[in-house]
Amino acid sequence: MSEMQFPESRQPSHSRHPESPQAEPRGPGNAKVKPPLILTNALIFSLTLTVALICVPWWGITHGFKGATWALFGFFLVANGMSITGGYHRLWAHRAYDAHVVLRIFYLIFGTMALQNSVLLWCSGHRRHHLNVDDNELDPYSVGRGFWFSHIGWMLRDYPSGVPDFANVADLKRDPLLVFQHRHYALLTTITNFGFSLGAGWLVGDVWGTFFLAGVARLVLSHHFTFFINSLAHMWGSRPYTDDNTARDNPILALVTHGEGYHNFHHIFAHDYRNGVRWWQWDPTKWLIASLQWVGLTRRLKRTPAFQIHRALLAMQFRRAQAKLAKLPETARAPSHIDQLRHRIAQEYEAFAAAVSDWTRLKEQWLEDKKRAVIEHWEQARFQQRLREIEDGLKMQRRRLRSLHAQLA
């Protein structure tokens, strides 16, 4: 299929790449002038919130909601959320796995119902976010411009950083399903939001109750749960893997975002189909993707090697240990004790560097042998055993560093 143009009301007629956005307009005294309001977005957000805050409780008090209505609310909310996290985000934006056409259609239907724009627009903006994270001029929803901007403000005004550019989704433009959704988005989102909620309400004998609860309230919650990842997940939580950006791991946000709250991991290992990488971390999206592999609906799941994860964790531990050591006043502890801690950290870092070197050399040797097609089964097993030994060594080193951190506290 040849490359196609995708008209959008916010896209300028001339080509403009996100690497060189137009500067925001300036007024008298070089003061920034607010870009024009995007009236459609402002009306959608304000009207749905008003209905959710007034009509939903009023209907609940005066008429009550049927059990079937609550069930529809729960189903639509989860289906919308999983279609955004599993479909829009991990499948299409990051290509973390491949999906059967049946699953892709499910994602498209309920992702459209989530009313977060077409896959092409959503993924284009998200890829620019990862490329330019925290850059106030290039990141479409940079948290550096404040909570309000990163949460919802970036969608209310026609900011230069938010102008669509489809140059970074050329791979997605070759998918006819995504092209169809983009071209007919207004019609499809009307059908899924009004048609589904009203039709389901008619089937259960509670048209208005279902519309208010499973239609409007569901949409408002679905919106803000997703928006929390752009705002709170860059402000509140821990950074165990990297502090090169503002992304945080937050298990509380993971509960309402189907696992997206482990955002610090995601920003350093974006192409991993998991966000909550440990087995006990709440990430129903990864469990869905992995379980659907058993029935052939997903395949080619991308996983970050355990060694790379341990390496990132250890690098952060070293960085923080060195920062704590530098802040220790000489009078707080005996100088000999500080020298001892400094020596131990240096030793641990040497062991860490040696492990990284061993892993890199082992990996290169294995790849070279594989290219020559001379690797045997027993050599493969030996290679895996050696990798496990290196990874186990890094795990032990992380425990020792935690002990050192306790002494530095």
Give yes or no for a contact between 59 and 212, defined as CB atoms under 8 angstroms apart.
yes
The CB-based long-range contact list for 369-375 (8 Å cut-off, 24+ gap) reads none
Which helix (H) or strand (E) segment holds residue 298: the answer is strand 298-299
Give yes or no for a contact between 33 and 25, defined as CB atoms under 8 angstroms apart.
yes
Q: Is the dihedral of CA 169, 170, 172, 177 positive or negative?
A: positive
87 Cβ contact list (under 8 Å, min separation 6): 99, 104, 106, 107, 108, 111, 119
**Separation CA 304–CA 57 (nearest Å):** 46
Domain segments of the chain as ranges? 28-299, 306-408
Q: What is the pLDDT of residues 157-200, one digit of tens each?
A: 999 999 888 999 999 999 999 999 999 999 999 999 999 999 99
Please give the mean pLDDT across all residues of the chain: 84
pTM beyond 0.85: the answer is: no
33 Cβ contact list (under 8 Å, min separation 6): 24, 25, 26, 27
What pLDDT is stored for residue 344 in this prediction? 64
Backbone angle region of 373, left / alpha / beta, with phi > 0 → left and psi within -120 to 50 → alpha? left
Q: What is the pLDDT of residues 32-75, one digit of tens each?
A: 788 999 999 999 999 999 999 999 999 999 999 999 999 999 99
Cβ burial of 221 (10 Å; 0-12, 13-18, 19+) is middle
Q: What is the pLDDT of residues 268-290, one digit of tens each?
A: 999 999 999 999 999 999 999 99
At residue 151, does pLDDT exceed 90?
yes
